[in-house]
Amino acid sequence: MMTTPPLGHRPPVLDMSNVTKTFNGDVVALRDMNLGVNSGDFISLLGPSGCGKSTALRLIAGLSTPSAGRITWAGGQSENDLGVVFQEPTLMPWATVAQNVWLPFRLKGQSYASVKDEILDALRLVGLEKFLEAYPRELSGGMKMRVSIARAMVTKPRLILMDEPFAALDEITRFRLNDDLLRLKAKIGCTVIFVTHSVFESVFLSDRIVIMAARPGRVIREVTVDAPYPRDEAFRTSADYAALCRQASEALHEAMGEHA
Amino acid sequence: MSIAENQPLYDADDLKRFRAERFERFGKWLLPVAVLIAMIWLWDRIVVWNEIPHFILPRPGLVLETLIKDWPMLFNALLVTLQITLLALAVAVIGGVGLAVLFTQSRLIEMSFYPYAVIMQVTPVVAIAPLIFIYVDSRTAGLLICAWLVAFFPVLANTTLGLNSADHNLRDLFRIYGASRWQTLRYLRLPAALPYFLGGLRIAGGLALIGAVVAEYVAGTGGIGSGLAFRILEAGYRLNIPRMFAALILIAVTGVVIFAGLSFLSHMLLRKWHESAVKRET
């Protein structure tokens, strides 16, 4: 099991400096966002709708370009920077579970046989090693999301972006996937930026919560979640957790209150 | 009353569903067959009761007799029509899919040519066919062009729609992973377009047959190598009404076989993953 070094002692992965994104020249989706992402971080972007969380993810993913400011990858950009999990599982319905997880390798020209072990490992980590040949329609919503997570981390990317991945799931499944996600993070030591609008989820998962406000989308405050990993059911019902949730919630209300 | 263990417990809803399923299973086949038999019987009775002469309306038995008697000639004609139909369908598939791929790869090409594809589609083939036979020397080539003209558009339109309907998040994912244009086409757009393409293909199959038959009517010349439509024309001139019916039946059966074949192909290709082909469990 990999252990994550404490905050402040981790090598940088990515730096966003004064990143602004406007649409049609005058609609400001994101204003002056600064964010340093270090290896092993689990950062939640938390805020109301329209606060630029998803815009920030799209900018980091390279799906759109900043109108101003810079996004810099430590040591330059490489082929294996990113894994992404969307709000929907976004699987190819015509492909089996194994073929879906193979996709990032396949697009790099690697044959199935050459990466079979990695695919199996990733599916084992999400508990789906028995479903290699299943088609997405045969899986439940939670299982599909697990496949999506396996696909995002199968190449062991430097950074995994998750855009409200569990928002459409029921609460029981969501809790289980939150637990699983932390277990995965402990096992493979990945770096994650996680977009959510759930205070509870962000506190449970992250070591840093970036609170954002809308119109224009911007960062209001960063809250450090100073609770050790592994976090489990006991943490979810602890007084510490409740206090952290209150703190994050107050910050969020402040963010929303200003422009409510 | 207590429930016996390990005993299936069927309630009124289950029984209702079982009955509905059984009715569905048998009704799907039995009802059309019953209607067919009733129609043939009625046809026969109308001819007999009204003493209609066979050169106006033959009895079904006579049509069957003619079908058997003229089988060598009709079968040859069927092969000719079928050949034109299948060739036209093949060319429509290659052309339609090829052009659809070009359209989705280049907006410039799509904007330039799509209106003309629509014009080709909306102009009735009967109106173009005479011109085609003036400029194209080979009769087979002329027939092929006419059949292709009507079969091509559904393949083009449906495939274009399918290629453009690939999930947006998946497209983003392909971009993030640095997929090339070819990879996106091969692994994302083409599989996403498959159900749409197959829908277009089923329509195109029927239209290719219609195109081939209409073109034969227009071409109008007979002799060796003429298809079913010409045999109908010829039989009409000779008041050989039973043969007209026999040829008509062959054309209809051919259409049904083409449709069923393409439906089966579609089912086989989609049955594992696509909603349209997946059996509901509940």
Contact (CB<8Å) A137/B167:
no
Which residues in chain B have Cβ-Cβ distances shorter than 8 Å to A88? 169
CA nearest to A60 within chain B? B176
C-alpha span between B241 and B44 (Å, rounded): 15
Among A174-188, B58-72, B225-239, B268-282, the range scoring the smallest mean pLDDT is B268-282
Superfamily of chain region A12-81+161-184+192-260: P-loop containing nucleotide triphosphate hydrolases (3.40.50.300)
Contact (CB<8Å) B173/A84:
yes
User: Is a pLDDT exceeding 70 seen at residue B5?
Assistant: no
What does the pLDDT look like over A201-225, one tens digit per residue? 999 999 999 999 888 888 988 988 8
pTM above the 0.90 mark?
Answer: no
**pLDDT classification of B3: cutoffs 50, 70, 90:** low
**What count of CB pairs under 8 Å joins A to B?**
52
Kindly report the CATH number assigned to the domain that includes residue B200: 1.10.3720.10
User: Is a pLDDT exceeding 90 seen at residue A195?
Assistant: yes
Mean pLDDT (whole number) for B125-146: 88
What does the pLDDT look like over B95-119, one tens digit per residue? 999 999 999 999 899 899 889 988 8
Within B51-70, where are the H helices? Answer: 60-69
Please indicate, yes or no, whether residues B210 and B75 belong to a single structural domain of this protein. Answer: yes
Please indicate, yes or no, whether residues B63 and B48 belong to a single structural domain of this protein. Answer: no
User: Is a pLDDT exceeding 90 seen at residue B11?
Assistant: no
Q: How far is CA B134 from CA A194, B91, B210, in A?
A: 68, 22, 21
Q: Give the number of domains in chain B.
A: 2
How much is the ipTM here?
0.91
Please report the pLDDT score of residue B203 as a whole number. 94
Which residues in chain A have Cβ-Cβ distances shorter than 8 Å to B273? 93-94, 135-137
**pLDDT classification of A8: cutoffs 50, 70, 90:** low
Residues B234, B70: contact at Cβ < 8 Å? no
Which residues in chain B have Cβ-Cβ distances shorter than 8 Å to A137? 273, 275, 278
Contact (CB<8Å) A79/B194:
no
C-alpha span between A62 and A77 (Å, rounded): 11
Which residues in chain A have Cβ-Cβ distances shorter than 8 Å to B272? 94, 135
In a domain, B242, yes or no: yes
Q: Which of B174, B176, B191 faces A94 most closely, judged by CB atoms?
A: B191
Please indicate, yes or no, whether residues B112 and B225 belong to a single structural domain of this protein. Answer: yes
Please indicate, yes or no, whether residues B64 and B35 belong to a single structural domain of this protein. Answer: no
Among B65-74, B111-120, B256-265, the range scoring the smallest mean pLDDT is B111-120
The whole domain housing B41 covers 8-52
Please indicate, yes or no, whether residues B96 and B204 belong to a single structural domain of this protein. Answer: yes
Q: How far is CA A16 from CA A12, A13, A49, A51, B160, in A?
A: 11, 10, 21, 17, 39
Please report the pLDDT score of residue B108 as a whole number. 93
As beta bridge partners, residue A222 has A210
In a domain, B280, yes or no: no
Nearest of A159, A167, A166, A171 to residue A181 by alpha carbon? A166
Assess whether the previous peptide bond of B115 is cis (omega < 30° from 0).
no
Tokens representing A191 are 């770096």
Nearest of B156, B133, B135 to residue B220 by alpha carbon? B133
Please report the pLDDT score of residue B4 as a whole number. 61
Give how far A79 is from chain B: nearest CA, Å: 8
As beta bridge partners, residue A72 has A15
User: Is a pLDDT exceeding 80 seen at residue B160?
Assistant: yes
User: Is a pLDDT exceeding 50 seen at residue A1?
Assistant: no
Which residues in chain A have Cβ-Cβ distances shorter than 8 Å to B279? none
CA nearest to B179 within chain A? A107
Q: Which of A93, A95, A104 faces B177 most closely, judged by CB atoms?
A: A104
Instruction: Please spell the DSSP secondary structure of chain A, one letter per residue.
Output: ---PPPTTSS-EEEEEEEEEEEETTTEEEEEEEEEEEETT-EEEEE--TTSSHHHHHHHHHTSS--SEEEEEETT---TT-EEEE-SS----TTS-HHHHHHHHHHTTT--HHHHHHHHHHHHHHTT-GGGTT--GGGS-HHHHHHHHHHHHHTT--SEEEEESTTTTS-HHHHHHHHHHHHHHHHHH---EEEEES-HHHHHHH-SEEEEEETTTTEEEEEEE---PSP--HHHHTSHHHHHHHHHHHHHHHHHHHHT-
In a domain, B278, yes or no: no
